Amino acid sequence: MNGLARRISNRNFAWAVVACVALLAGLAALGLPRLEQDDNILAFLPQDSPEVQAFAEINQRFGSMDMALVGIETKDVFRPDFLTQLRKVTRDLKEIRGMNHVLTLANVVDFSPDLENGGMVTSTLIPEGRLMPAELTALRAKVLAKDHLVGHLISADGRALLLYCFLAHGVDPRAMAGHIRSTVKQRFPDQQLFWGGGPFVSTYIYDATRSDIRRLTPWAVLAVVLVMLLAFRDLIGVGLVLFSTGLGVLLTLGAMAWFGVRFNIVLGSMPVVLFAIGSAYGIHVLTRYQTLARETDRRTALYQTLVAVAPVVIAAGLTTAAGLLSFVAMDIQPLRVFGLFTALGILTILALSVTFLPAVISLTGLTRARPKTGLGKWTARLAVFASRRRLMVGLCLAVVSVAGGLAASRVDARMDNASFFSKGSPPDQAEHFLARYFGGGQFVQVQVKGDLADPHVLRELERLSGRLAELAGVAEVLHLGQAVSLANRAFVDQERIPDTSEQVRLLQSLLAGDPSVAQLVTADHSEALLHIKLIPTRAEAIEVVLQSIEALVKDDLTDRYRVVDGAHAGVRKQEFESRRRQLVLAKIRALVRRFALPLGPEALARADQRMSGPPPSVSAQSVALRLAGFLRSDECAVDLAGLGAELPSRLATALAALGPAAAESDLTAGIAGQLASSTKAIDPLLVEDLTFSLAAPLSAFWREQQAIEWARAVAAVWPPASPQQNPRFATALSTAMLDLSNPTVMLPARPGEEAQSLACQVTGLPVMHRGLSASTASNQLKSLALALSLIIIIMALFFRSLASGLLVAAPTVLTLLVVYGGMGLMGVHLDIGTSMLASLILGAGVDYAVHLASAWQSEPGEALHQAAARAAAAAGPAIWINAIMVAVGFFVLTLGEARPLKNVGGLTATAMLVAALATFLAIPVLARKRRYRQKDYDSGAAVEPLGEPLLDRGSK
């Protein structure tokens, strides 16, 4: 260091240093335009967590995070002007470049039976044109009676709507969120709007953090500057330190640009960190120089400053860099980059503080002396007090440490939405909107692997969904079976999972390409998701529901199964019947829940008992009526109109009389017989066509009539206030009863039996949060251990004593206990932001102890408290000024909106002040040596004299 100190006093060398720095700064500035922004918020997910990996994989496969939700709260959805605007906004949204699909009440397709011609009619649910009051009333009743829309697209009271925007693959979610927001605001300027879903939430987190950083960084730097100006009252000196620090920031950013490292959102806080912490090095140099400049000439003062202070500043800087470097132990890539490059920034500023800054002082002849403050005296009193009353102060510190440790043990790692956004923020408002009008805004998914084209698997998932929906805290469960059932209804008027794999495959193919169906099943039918909507919003309550979901999925699912045909069930016949009834009972339970009926377990048991009895009889007349309707419809392949008006009825009666199990040959004969009475020449092809045409409907009519009778029989065993009075319930119950005639059923495979498998795994955001929490806790421990180890090693080397290294680390450990204890008491959780605290505090806070210990010295015969007084008086002002600077700089971050930034800002600010105080209490209590460094830190007495003037040619 002597050599450097001597050379810096040389003007030529000083010019060379300045020129080199200027050159490097120029190169860095040239590189800045190459610095790219990394907007990917998902990069903050730890790469090693299995839960997080599963979440990311499922998100990619099912596109879960690519859906933006827009909520609209209004007085009444069913107003002509509102519906007109809704139609327009639906069209506008669809036309946004990057929009895959838009689903709103305005474009949802409705279908209804065509009673006149047979088949069905499809149209948009909301008709075009301006509706009259009576039409609006009818529309309201129609829409709110649709269970698959209420609670999904519209609230039950008709006051809230949800618009679903499915983004195309690979588009920028932030840009899309902006387009969607402006489009909707333009159409609904006066309505209360809510923005939810992955694109809006990630955009909010990113934008809020970036906006805070952009908005607050200048204020934070200004606050730091003001503190410095107040402390030094030297515009030029302060300007010089800030310029030097600014150059360090520039060089670091330039290095990132030239190395192709992208600038992520956490790195946005780097300038604040570097200015607040890094400018301390320049301050120590400047303070010492100004102190010495009062007593000696400029060159000597500079020389002595560097010899005495530079090693201490370097040691302090190295500990800070070590603390930041410990971030590389984390499994979150952006934090690793932050740690690495902020450490590089600290080292760069450090290097500039002991080269560039002295070089400029040397060239400019900056000599203004720093005004004295009372800080040194006041701090010296504090240190002396602690040193003289070691036992009492030590005991107090021990008590604080133990209390802090106990309170710190309450700090748990908990990542949930509250970790990212505050109450009242747009995502929080959206969550409450969803909870208020749509039953909940939090979802858990169950990933299913198996043959999702197998109707038995779909029925098993339907049963499992029913069980899950019964759990406390679950609002509803959405599954593939519902979509397939609705499609089945469109084709055969039965809202149920069809009987064969071919039918399921056909329906799924027809649904292919629909983004909302794509969130339920993969194109190859091998994987599906159940979406479980949760009622609670708080993480603790969600965790409880999550555990019950996991337990149920684990215990209740039939994971190895065989499909058994009832006709060939053999010894498993009873098991077959029982299982079939259980499936129907599960459906009835779901209906009871859906219609909020007062039917308890006893009623269900009676229903089960009835279903195990003989089937009710079915009237052939009712089947004949329906068949006659079919024969008259356009769906019948053969037009019978020309063969007599009575023929359809006669034919239907004759065929129904053949019973439900009539063979095709019997049907053919029956048809031929009836046609013979109407026409002389019977076309065999016509008979064949008619047989083919009516065989499937006839079979379906028998089955449906049987189900209707079953529904009546079951409802008959229930209390008098029978729910079958509700026509919607009666229809749904009849449809459920269709499954009593399923020819095949899934049964658990017996040991050793050849079987098919079905696997389930609970996933989703809450599960991912759990993985993230575990990762955060692990990151915290790993980085803390690494930082502490590095710091103790550096300090042990610097002070050439392990005990001294531990002594210097002690105040910061105490600070950590206090800060984490405070977090425990205030209920602040460990999250991505707060997990950075420990290493940051450790690295920056230990500086104070380094400076105090370096200044610690007493002459033989002097008491230790005189060493404390001397050290505190010498190092105290700089330490306090730095602590206040860092605290003020970080405190400014608490004024923002981004929750992680607020937590880190507030806690770091507090920690720096606590660290300074702890230093002046703990070191005097624990220090037992007369000095910890070989050379005098303060007086410069041990500093070697300046060399020959020839080394300083430039100054001549």
Q: Which of residues 435-474 bind another protein (CB under 8 A)?
A: 441-443, 445
Asked if 94 and 202 count as a contact pair (C-beta separation under 8 A), the reply is no
Dihedral (CA of 297, 302, 303, 305) sign: positive
Site string for another protein, 306-345 (x = CB under 8 A): ----------------------------------------
- Residues in contact with another protein, shown as a per-residue x/- string from 601 to 640 under the rule CB under 8 A: --------------------------------xxxxxx--
Closest to another protein by CB, 419 vs 503, is: 503
Give the integer Cα–Cα distance in Å for 247 and 463: 66
Q: Which of 14, 31, 46, 62 binds another protein (CB under 8 A)?
A: 62
Distance, in Å, from the CA atom of 304 to the CA atom of 289, rounded to the nearest integer, reads 8
Contact call for residues 195 and 207 (beta carbons, < 8 A): no
- Does 168 engage in binding with another protein (CB under 8 A)? yes
* Residue 939, number of CB atoms within 10 A of its CB: 14
Q: How far is the CB of 698 from another protein (least distance, A)?
A: 10
In terms of phi and psi (left: phi > 0; alpha: psi -120 to 50; beta: otherwise), the region of 98 is left
Report the residue from 199, 536, 833, 845 that binds another protein according to the rule CB under 8 A: 199
- The span of 117-125, 643-651, 787-795, 862-870 binding another protein (CB under 8 A) equals 117-125
Q: Does 765 bind another protein (CB under 8 A)?
A: yes
* Spatial separation of the C-alpha atoms in residues 305 and 293, rounded to whole Å: 9
Q: Which of residues 492 and 669 has its CB atom nearest to another protein in the complex? A: 492
Q: Under rule CB under 8 A, which residues in 403-432 are in contact with another protein?
A: 417, 427, 430-431
- Rule CB under 8 A: choose which of 227, 415, 475, 520 binds another protein: 520
Which residue blocks in 412-497 are alpha helix, DSSP H?
426-438, 455-469, 480-492
Instruction: Collapse the DSSP code of 947 into the 3-class scheme (helix H, G, I; strand E, B; otherwise coil) and give the result.
Output: coil
């040239």: which residue's tokens?
30
Give the binding-site size for another protein (rule: CB under 8 A).
Answer: 102
The answer to whether residue 171 forms part of the interface with another protein (CB under 8 A) is: yes
SS3 content of the chain, % helix, strand, coil (to 5): 65, 10, 25
Residue 378 or 491: the one with the smaller Cβ distance to another protein is 491
In the complex with another protein, the residue whose CB is nearer, 194 or 820, is: 194
- How far does the chain reach from its first CA to its final CA, in angstroms? 23
The SS3 assignment for 443 reads strand
CA angle 399, 402, 406 (to 5 degrees): 135
- Quick check: helix, strand or coil at residue 13? helix
Mask of contacts with another protein, 487-516, x by CB under 8 A?
x--xxx-----x-x-xx-xxxxxxxxxx-x
Query: By CB under 8 A, is residue 144 in contact with another protein?
Result: no
For the bound state, the minimum distance from the C-beta of residue 829 to another protein, rounded and expressed in Å, comes to 19
| Range 817-876, binding another protein (CB under 8 A) | none
Q: Which part of the chain contacts another protein (CB under 8 A), choosing from 363-371, 591-599, 685-693, 880-888? A: 685-693
| Candidate residues 95, 297, 602, 944; the one interacting with another protein per rule CB under 8 A | 95
In the bound complex, what is the minimum distance in angstroms from residue 664's beta carbon to another protein? 11
Amino acid at 467: R
Of 462, 466, 473, the closest CA to residue 439 belongs to 473
**Is residue 594 near another protein by the rule CB under 8 A?**
no
731 counts as binding another protein under rule CB under 8 A: no
Residue of 451, 689, 741, 777 interacting with another protein (CB under 8 A): 689
Q: Minimum CB separation from another protein for residue 565, in Å?
A: 18
Task: For residue 65, state whether it binds another protein (rule: CB under 8 A).
Answer: yes
What is the DSSP track for 528-577? EEEEEEES--SHHHHHHHHHHHHHHHHHH---EEEEEEGGG-GGGHHHHH
Q: In the complex with another protein, which residue's Cβ is closer, 328 or 506? A: 506
Q: For the packed helices 455-469 and 501-511, what is the interaxial angle rounded to 10 degrees?
A: 70
Quick one: which of 497, 494, 492, 501 has its CA closest to 697? Answer: 492
Query: To the nearest whole angstrom, how small is the minimum distance from the Cβ of residue 494 to another protein?
Result: 10
Please identify which residue in 229, 340, 486, 781 interacts with another protein, judged by CB under 8 A.
486
Residue 129 in contact with another protein, rule: CB under 8 A: no
* Residue 131 contacts another protein per CB under 8 A: no
279-293 and 235-258 helices, crossing angle to 10° = 150
CB of residue 439 vs another protein: minimum separation in angstroms? 11
| 183 near another protein, rule: CB under 8 A | no
Which of 634/753 has CB closer to another protein?
A: 634
State how far the Cα of 175 lies from the Cα of 679, in Å rounded to an integer: 71
Q: Please tell me what DSSP assigns to residue 237.
A: H
C-beta of residue 234 within 8 angstroms of C-beta of residue 368: yes
CB-nearer residue toward another protein: 114 or 575? 114
